[in-house]
């Protein structure tokens, strides 16, 4: 592609994955967000909860002056607590809802324009009831966000039988779910992730084309699925070029081409495309981020 990628997308990064010690809202949150804010390669940043009020206020000020698009990942609020938004136990579902609503409040406080979450585990025997619970919860989340402002809501599509074992899930159920929620909430959409596509046992086309009208956010990353014995097996988001990884430059090229073909990448309203990458073992987060930027640069040159 001869034209600059910034004409077609806002390149972002999932802060709490790139710097995983911050995923619970503690650790070097301010310092690491500042690193990203100072890097003009990125036009968008995805953050999560920040427990300390003073640190959260510092981050808010940084983001206000950064000229970056900010979104909020509610996924850690569920994954680090074991809460399930499609819990068939009503008390458990309400706890998950309350947690995400608190996240929405924090997201508005930090100036985020989008909020994401994920579906929870399920049992095959009660899959339909879990689906109904998920739709009910999502409608409540969307209505709550709408009552506070214009924040967009997205559910991130995850694997259903490898690691996170989320209800959504393969393309067929993702499409059914998105259609159902969109009946009431136009500000809802799906977040797709190149890292998760091999984990869902789908090709890029199989994963994206059925839900193309509902994609509102995209991630780029890598995974290992060949064998449970391999390092970084599952939904671990290792760097590009990781041994036995599924995604590298060729796959990123393929993914970007499909996103262009379906109109997600466009020069009218460039959407967010964020790296979701994580250092493995004692890898340096800053080197892993540099790796991701080189990978995207090379891929875009070949699109």
- Alpha carbons 272 and 69: distance in angstroms, whole number: 9
For residue 58, give the nearest of 115, 113, 112, 110 by alpha carbon.
110
Report the topology of domain 5-302: TIM Barrel (3.20.20)
Q: Which residues contact 191 (CB under 8 A, 6 or more apart)?
A: 116, 154, 155, 156, 157, 215, 216, 217, 218, 219
Q: How far apart are CA 177 and CA 209, in angstroms?
A: 15
Residue 219 to residue 264: CA distance in whole angstroms: 12
Contact 252, 211 (CB under 8 A): no
Q: What is the pLDDT of residue 2?
A: 87
pLDDT, tens digit, for every residue of 256-270?
999 999 999 999 999
| CA–CA separation, 30 and 34 (whole Å) | 6
CB atoms within 10 A of CB 150: 9
Domain ranges of the chain: 5-302
Mean pLDDT of the residues in the chain = 98
Q: What's the pLDDT band for 45 if we cut at 50, 70, 90?
A: very high
Tokens in use for 31?
């310092």
Report, as an integer, the average pLDDT of 95-116. Answer: 98
The Cα 31–Cα 218 span in angstroms is 26
Q: What is the percentage of the chain residues whose pLDDT exceeds 90? A: 99
pTM of the model: 0.97
Confidence of residue 84 (pLDDT cuts 50, 70, 90): very high
- The maximal CA–CA distance of the chain, rounded, in angstroms, is 54
Across the range 148-153, mean pLDDT stands at 98
State pLDDT tens for residues 69-83.
999 999 999 999 999
Question: How many CA atoms are closer than 13 Å to the CA of 150, on its beta-carbon side?
Answer: 0
Average pLDDT (36-50) is 98
Q: What is the mean pLDDT of residues 3-12?
A: 97
Look at residue 280 in the predicted model and tell me its pLDDT.
98
pLDDT of residue 1 exceeding 90: no
What pLDDT, on the 0 to 100 scale, is given for residue 198?
98
Does the pLDDT of residue 130 top 90, yes or no?
Answer: yes
pLDDT digits (tens, 9 = 90+) for 187-218: 999 999 999 999 999 999 999 999 999 999 99
Question: Which residue in the block uniquely carries the two structure tokens 């706890």?
Answer: 95
pLDDT tier at 105 (50, 70, 90 boundaries)? very high
Angle at 20 between CA 18 and CA 23, to 5 degrees: 115
- Per DSSP, what are the bridge partners of residue 289? none
* C-alpha separations of 58 from 40, 54, 109, 154 in Å: 20, 6, 12, 26
- Nearest Cα to Cα of residue 297 among 11, 26, 57, 97: 11
């Amino acid at each position: 592609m001869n034209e600059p990628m910034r004409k077609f997308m806002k390149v972002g990064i999932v802060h709490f994955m790139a710097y995983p010690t911050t995923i619970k809202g503690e650790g070097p949150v301010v310092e690491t967000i500042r690193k990203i804010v100072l890097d003009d390669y990125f036009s968008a940043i995805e953050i999560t909860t920040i427990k300390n009020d003073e640190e959260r206020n510092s981050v808010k000020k940084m983001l206000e002056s950064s000229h970056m698009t900010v979104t909020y990942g509610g996924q850690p609020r569920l994954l680090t607590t074991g809460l399930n938004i499609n819990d068939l136990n009503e008390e458990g579902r309400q706890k998950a809802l309350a947690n995400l609503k608190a996240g929405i409040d924090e997201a508005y406080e930090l100036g985020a324009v989008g909020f994401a979450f994920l579906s929870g585990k399920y049992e095959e025997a009660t899959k339909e009831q879990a689906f109904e619970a998920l739709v009910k919860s999502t409608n409540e989340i969307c209505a709550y966000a709408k009552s506070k402002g214009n924040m967009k809501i997205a559910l991130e599509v995850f694997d259903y039988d490898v690691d996170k074992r989320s209800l959504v899930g393969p393309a067929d159920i993702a499409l059914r779910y998105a259609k159902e929620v969109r009946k009431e909430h136009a500000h809802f959409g799906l977040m797709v992730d190149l890292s998760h596509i091999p984990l869902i046992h789908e090709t890029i086309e199989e994963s994206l084309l059925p839900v193309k009208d509902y994609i509102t956010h995209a991630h780029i990353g890598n995974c290992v699925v060949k064998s449970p014995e391999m390092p970084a097996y599952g939904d671990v988001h290792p760097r590009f070029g990781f041994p036995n990884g599924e995604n590298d430059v060729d796959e990123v090229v393929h993914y970007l081409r499909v996103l262009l073909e379906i109109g997600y990448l466009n020069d009218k309203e460039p959407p967010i495309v964020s790296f979701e990458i994580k250092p493995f073992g004692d890898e340096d987060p800053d080197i892993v981020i540099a790796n991701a930027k080189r990978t995207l640069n090379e891929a875009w040159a070949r699109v």
